[in-house]
Protein backbone atom coordinates (compact mmCIF):
# COMPACT_ATOMS: atom_id res chain seq x y z
CA UNK A 1 0.00 0.00 0.00
CA UNK A 2 2.82 2.41 0.88
CA UNK A 3 4.55 1.72 -2.45
CA UNK A 4 1.35 2.57 -4.38
CA UNK A 5 0.88 5.84 -2.50
CA UNK A 6 4.53 6.83 -3.05
CA UNK A 7 4.41 5.90 -6.75
CA UNK A 8 1.20 7.89 -7.25
CA UNK A 9 2.67 10.94 -5.47
CA UNK A 10 5.87 10.77 -7.52
CA UNK A 11 4.00 10.57 -10.84
CA UNK A 12 1.90 13.60 -9.92
CA UNK A 13 5.02 15.64 -9.22
CA UNK A 14 6.51 14.63 -12.57
CA UNK A 15 3.25 15.40 -14.36
CA UNK A 16 3.09 18.83 -12.68
CA UNK A 17 6.62 19.70 -13.86
CA UNK A 18 5.78 18.47 -17.37
CA UNK A 19 2.75 20.75 -17.46
CA UNK A 20 4.87 23.69 -16.32
CA UNK A 21 7.42 22.83 -19.03
CA UNK A 22 4.66 22.71 -21.64
CA UNK A 23 3.25 26.02 -20.42
CA UNK A 24 6.75 27.51 -20.68
CA UNK A 25 6.95 26.21 -24.25
CA UNK A 26 3.66 27.83 -25.24
CA UNK A 27 4.26 31.19 -23.60
CA UNK A 28 7.89 31.16 -24.70
CA UNK A 29 6.68 30.68 -28.27
CA UNK A 30 4.36 33.65 -27.90
CA UNK A 31 7.12 35.79 -26.39
CA UNK A 32 9.56 34.77 -29.12
CA UNK A 33 7.02 35.62 -31.81
CA UNK A 34 6.38 39.05 -30.38
CA UNK A 35 10.10 39.76 -29.91
CA UNK A 36 10.89 38.55 -33.42
CA UNK A 37 8.32 40.92 -34.91
CA UNK A 38 9.49 43.89 -32.84
CA UNK A 39 13.21 43.28 -33.45
CA UNK A 40 12.72 42.40 -37.14
CA UNK A 41 14.14 38.91 -36.73
CA UNK A 42 17.07 39.56 -34.40
CA UNK A 43 17.98 36.13 -33.08
CA UNK A 44 19.10 37.30 -29.62
CA UNK A 45 15.96 39.31 -28.99
CA UNK A 46 13.89 36.36 -30.18
CA UNK A 47 15.60 34.12 -27.64
CA UNK A 48 15.19 36.77 -24.93
CA UNK A 49 11.49 36.98 -25.82
CA UNK A 50 11.12 33.23 -25.34
CA UNK A 51 12.79 33.37 -21.94
CA UNK A 52 10.87 36.51 -20.98
CA UNK A 53 7.49 35.11 -21.98
CA UNK A 54 7.99 31.90 -20.03
CA UNK A 55 9.42 33.76 -17.02
CA UNK A 56 6.47 36.14 -16.86
CA UNK A 57 3.90 33.36 -16.98
CA UNK A 58 5.91 31.29 -14.48
CA UNK A 59 6.15 34.16 -12.01
CA UNK A 60 2.44 34.87 -12.41
CA UNK A 61 1.49 31.25 -11.82
CA UNK A 62 3.70 30.96 -8.77
CA UNK A 63 2.35 34.24 -7.38
CA UNK A 64 -1.16 32.80 -7.64
CA UNK A 65 0.04 29.56 -6.03
CA UNK A 66 1.70 31.49 -3.20
CA UNK A 67 -1.70 32.89 -2.22
CA UNK A 68 -3.13 29.38 -1.95
CA UNK A 69 -2.15 27.55 1.23
CA UNK A 70 -1.93 23.97 -0.10
CA UNK A 71 0.22 24.77 -3.13
CA UNK A 72 2.50 27.64 -2.17
CA UNK A 73 5.44 29.00 -4.15
CA UNK A 74 7.53 26.31 -5.84
CA UNK A 75 10.88 27.25 -7.35
CA UNK A 76 11.05 23.93 -9.17
CA UNK A 77 7.80 24.73 -10.99
CA UNK A 78 9.20 28.14 -11.93
CA UNK A 79 12.41 26.55 -13.19
CA UNK A 80 10.47 24.00 -15.27
CA UNK A 81 8.45 26.83 -16.86
CA UNK A 82 11.55 28.88 -17.68
CA UNK A 83 13.31 25.80 -19.10
CA UNK A 84 10.30 25.29 -21.36
CA UNK A 85 10.80 28.80 -22.74
CA UNK A 86 14.55 28.29 -23.14
CA UNK A 87 13.93 25.08 -25.04
CA UNK A 88 11.59 26.76 -27.50
CA UNK A 89 14.04 29.66 -27.89
CA UNK A 90 16.87 27.29 -28.82
CA UNK A 91 14.57 25.33 -31.13
CA UNK A 92 13.50 28.46 -33.00
CA UNK A 93 17.13 29.51 -33.40
CA UNK A 94 18.16 26.09 -34.70
CA UNK A 95 15.41 25.97 -37.32
CA UNK A 96 15.85 29.56 -38.52
CA UNK A 97 18.10 29.86 -41.54
CA UNK A 98 20.09 32.98 -40.64
CA UNK A 99 22.31 32.91 -43.76
CA UNK A 100 19.32 32.92 -46.08
CA UNK A 101 17.78 35.88 -44.23
CA UNK A 102 21.02 37.88 -44.48
CA UNK A 103 21.30 37.14 -48.20
CA UNK A 104 17.68 38.16 -48.76
CA UNK A 105 18.20 41.42 -46.84
CA UNK A 106 21.33 42.22 -48.87
CA UNK A 107 19.52 41.55 -52.16
CA UNK A 108 16.61 43.73 -51.15
CA UNK A 109 18.88 46.58 -50.04
CA UNK A 110 20.88 46.39 -53.27
CA UNK A 111 17.72 46.27 -55.35
CA UNK A 112 16.26 49.28 -53.57
CA UNK A 113 19.40 51.32 -54.19
CA UNK A 114 19.75 50.30 -57.83
CA UNK A 115 16.12 50.69 -58.88
CA UNK A 116 15.06 53.71 -56.88
CA UNK A 117 15.11 56.61 -59.31
CA UNK A 118 14.38 59.87 -57.53
CA UNK A 119 16.07 62.99 -58.80
CA UNK A 120 18.17 64.85 -56.26
CA UNK A 121 16.36 67.80 -54.75
CA UNK A 122 12.88 66.43 -55.44
CA UNK A 123 10.42 64.85 -53.05
CA UNK A 124 8.45 61.86 -54.27
CA UNK A 125 4.70 62.33 -54.05
CA UNK A 126 1.87 59.88 -54.23
CA UNK A 127 -1.46 60.54 -55.90
CA UNK A 128 -4.31 58.98 -53.95
CA UNK A 129 -7.14 60.56 -55.95
CA UNK A 130 -7.95 57.28 -57.66
CA UNK A 131 -8.60 55.55 -54.34
CA UNK A 132 -6.01 52.84 -55.04
CA UNK A 133 -2.66 52.39 -53.41
CA UNK A 134 0.32 52.40 -55.76
CA UNK A 135 2.11 49.12 -56.37
CA UNK A 136 5.76 48.57 -55.51
CA UNK A 137 6.63 48.93 -59.20
CA UNK A 138 4.99 52.34 -59.30
CA UNK A 139 7.01 53.36 -56.25
CA UNK A 140 10.24 52.68 -58.12
CA UNK A 141 11.03 49.06 -57.31
CA UNK A 142 10.98 46.59 -60.14
CA UNK A 143 8.71 43.57 -60.00
CA UNK A 144 11.65 41.28 -60.85
CA UNK A 145 13.25 42.09 -57.51
CA UNK A 146 10.27 40.78 -55.61
CA UNK A 147 10.06 37.69 -57.84
CA UNK A 148 13.67 36.85 -56.91
CA UNK A 149 12.94 37.21 -53.20
CA UNK A 150 10.05 34.76 -53.27
Out of 54-58, 73-77, 116-120, give the one with best mean pLDDT.
54-58
pTM equals: 0.59
Please name the residues in contact with 54: beta carbons below 8 A apart, sequence gap of 6 or more: 23, 24, 25, 27, 28, 31, 81, 82, 84, 85, 86, 88
Q: Is residue 124 part of a domain?
A: no
Q: Check if the beta carbon of residue 58 is closer than 8 Å to that of residue 20.
A: yes
Mean pLDDT of 30-57: 92
Residues 104 and 85 in one domain: no
Number of alpha carbons in the 13 Å side-chain half-sphere of residue 127 = 3
Is residue 43's pLDDT more than 80? yes
The pLDDT tens digits of the residues spanning 78-118 come to 999 999 999 999 999 888 877 776 777 777 666 655 554 55
Residue 129 has pLDDT above 60, yes or no: no
Give the pLDDT band of residue 6 (cuts 50, 70, 90): very low
| Domain encompassing residue 148 | 98-117+131-150
User: 53 and 15 in one domain?
Assistant: yes
Q: Give yes or no: residues 10 and 47 share one domain.
A: yes
Q: Is the pLDDT of residue 144 over 80?
A: no
If asked whether residues 76 and 142 sit together in one domain, one would say no
| Same domain, yes or no: 103 and 91 | no
**Same domain, yes or no: 32 and 80:** yes
Based on the structure, what is the number of domains in the chain? 2
Is 50 exceeded by the pLDDT of residue 4?
no
Residues 92 and 76 placed together within one structural domain of the fold? yes
> Is 125 contained in some domain?
no
Per-residue pLDDT at 150: 56
| 91, 137: one domain | no
* Residue predicted with more confidence, 125 or 16: 16
Give domain status of residue 122, yes or no.
no
Amino acid sequence: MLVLVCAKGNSQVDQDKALHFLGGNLYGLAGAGIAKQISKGNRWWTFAGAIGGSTLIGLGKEAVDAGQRPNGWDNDDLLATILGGATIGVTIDLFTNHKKKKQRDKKLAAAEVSTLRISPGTTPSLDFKTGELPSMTELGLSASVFDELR
